[in-house]
Chain A
């Protein structure tokens, strides 16, 4: 059984058809890519998977279970986590708090623990903190743990967001342009982090990318989206050579082909 399966997904924003007849099969442990020009509907696919929008048509199965129309926090708790194209960090919160709050669904001490500070809460909070630090160390930002995120360099913020996404204990990790706006050095570090996270935690990763280099290095299979439709699917080499893909990108996103 595949981990994540999407069947004939279509989504309209009013009159605009952002996604049309989209299909996906994601196997456990796989790293997949989703590329396509700006406005192709890539982020919308992520928003549909994570329950931000309810699809006009089609269904989404996670571990064989239909999650179409489920509320986002429940989908996340089942094991689908994500990062955002524009990060969406919580601006008044510290790095550590980000990674703690993302463990929300794993809290069992309940309101009694929250209001009265029971022994169970103390124990659980210690565990949450320990796990938060180990994730922060994994992505290399532990020394900023007590800083408010707003003041941190861009590359660090990206990694904090990655640690936050990991804290929900995902089986599928959706990364929306994880290297957007990074210089070549930061880019290389981010690729290393993604690979390391995948090796250590072994979840499936589905990533949206703009730069072919990242896709080439990380992905086994790549889909290309254009005007909401998949126009090519295959290994990065196959996709890159596909005339339809070149056509779609022609004159717009030179870097993708480069």
Chain B
């Protein structure tokens, strides 16, 4: 009897949760952040944690494993319960709001959702500088993973040059911002009033992306002129060449690195660029032009016979991917406000490949999961220091054996169907129900 009742309760809860629209979950997220501000610190002390767990407790996993149960309790009390209950309680309200927004315009609705998400994310991160940094680096990781996935997943080639593209973007934009707005002993006084800086910063990032694309062209021309698997070797060589070129370029500090970048890569800036990157790549891979990438991967001869210009497809995609790697590199340089060529070597490549292959090939959702998951994971492994670089490859090998396409392969998303109101159709008068495309 009691079992039956529990089951019924659970089923009811599940169907109620199924009616929560995305907006409801986002409201829950904002609520959880507020709860953390109000009671986070005293609760953490009461649980014996000392201070608020910074990254969902993953940072404690190996540092002080005995605190993990307390961290879990904190997660439930501060995150899970508020998110769940607010999502449930506001469900009718959130559905009505989502419906109104959708009627107004799907684009407006998407923008509002992204904005609410950002408010939640930003307030969550603001509690601590470490969180801000990790969020920024995670957003950059997602950009890099997704752009590499275009080539290694969607197009089925194997490119190793992403750290090189990052480096080109990082150094190009750094030199531009320092020369134009900061000045240095080497470059003299700034050329432009620094008030203009934040406005022209996007241009510096784009310039970095374009230089990375130009570098990509030197890889693409020899690699894609003929069929065959030259890309892996040529792109690896490219990455190493870029690294040693910078090491020998005294004007940007050589192996010592380059610093003094202005502090313009705030959380908002990084977030906006990451959203632009994900939106553009998601849009591309969902178009028929983007699907041609898969055709090139699964059968180049058939793709050509079906009118696909395979050489152009490969070139465009490779340059596009390099552009975003360059932009991410530029942002990275301005987040850290210091870059050195050592950061763009084999270890960076290994990290990026791990994110792509763990997250899932041919997948926007997988890339996001890979970027976020890997960042959390490597923060958790930080106390293990060098052992991290034994654990990550082993994990990668396991994934390759048991799930060769990665955890969440073959998944894009349709933003408009994500932000639709949910629940019984009667409550959604005025919004025609269209099944999600994917």
Contacts and interface: CB of A to CB of B under 8 A. Distances in A.
Interface string A136-173: 00000000000000000000000000001101100000
Given A107-B288, A115-B283, A93 B294 contact: yes
A88 B301 CA distance: 8
Given A100-B288, A103-B288, A168-B307, A111 B294 contact: no
A114 B290 contact: yes
B196 interface: no
A115 B298 CA distance: 23
Nearest to A150: B298
B298 A91 contact: yes
A69 interface: no
B294 A105 contact: no
Interface in A200-217: none
A102 B284 CA distance: 17
Given A88-B301, A91-B298, A92-B298, A97 B306 contact: no
A218 interface: no
Contact of A90 (B283, B290, B299, B310): B299
B426 interface: no
Interface stretch (A2-10, A75-83, A185-193, A229-237): A75-83
Contacts of A227: none
Given A104-B289, A115-B280, A93 B295 contact: yes
Which of B287, B310, B316 counts the most chain A CB atoms within 10 A?
B287
B303 interface: yes
A210 to B, nearest CB: 21
A81 B308 CA distance: 12
A89 B299 CA distance: 7
Interface of B is mostly: helix
B211 to A, nearest CB: 19
B288 A90 contact: no
A125 interface: yes
A84 interface: yes
Contacts of B310: 73
Contacts, number: 105
Contact of A93 (B283, B298, B309, B320): B298
A104 B305 CA distance: 11
Given A93-B291, A93-B294, A121-B287, A73 B301 contact: no
A48 interface: no
Interface in B264-287: 280, 283-284, 287
Interface string B343-365: 00000000000000000001000
A101 B283 contact: no
B400 to A, nearest CB: 17
B263 interface: no
Contacts of A93: 291, 294-295, 298
Interface in A119-140: 121, 125, 128
B224 interface: no
A88 B302 contact: yes
B309 A90 contact: no
Contacts of A106: 307
A106 B290 CA distance: 14
B304 interface: yes
A243 interface: no
Nearest to A121: B287
A91 B405 CA distance: 14
A101 B303 contact: yes
A52 interface: yes
A-B complex: 10 closest residue pairs judged by Cβ atoms: A90-B298, A105-B307, A72-B304, A88-B302, A102-B306, A76-B307, A114-B289, A114-B287, A77-B307, A117-B283
Given A88-B301, A100-B288, 11 more contacts: A52-B304, A76-B304, A76-B305, A90-B294, A90-B303, A91-B298, A101-B303, A102-B307, A104-B288, A115-B320, A168-B306
30 contacts: A71-B304, A72-B301, A72-B304, A72-B305, A73-B307, A73-B309, A76-B305, A76-B306, A76-B307, A81-B306, A82-B305, A88-B299, A89-B298, A89-B299, A90-B295, A92-B294, A93-B295, A97-B294, A101-B291, A102-B306, A104-B289, A104-B307, A113-B289, A114-B283, A114-B287, A114-B289, A115-B283, A115-B284, A117-B283, A121-B287
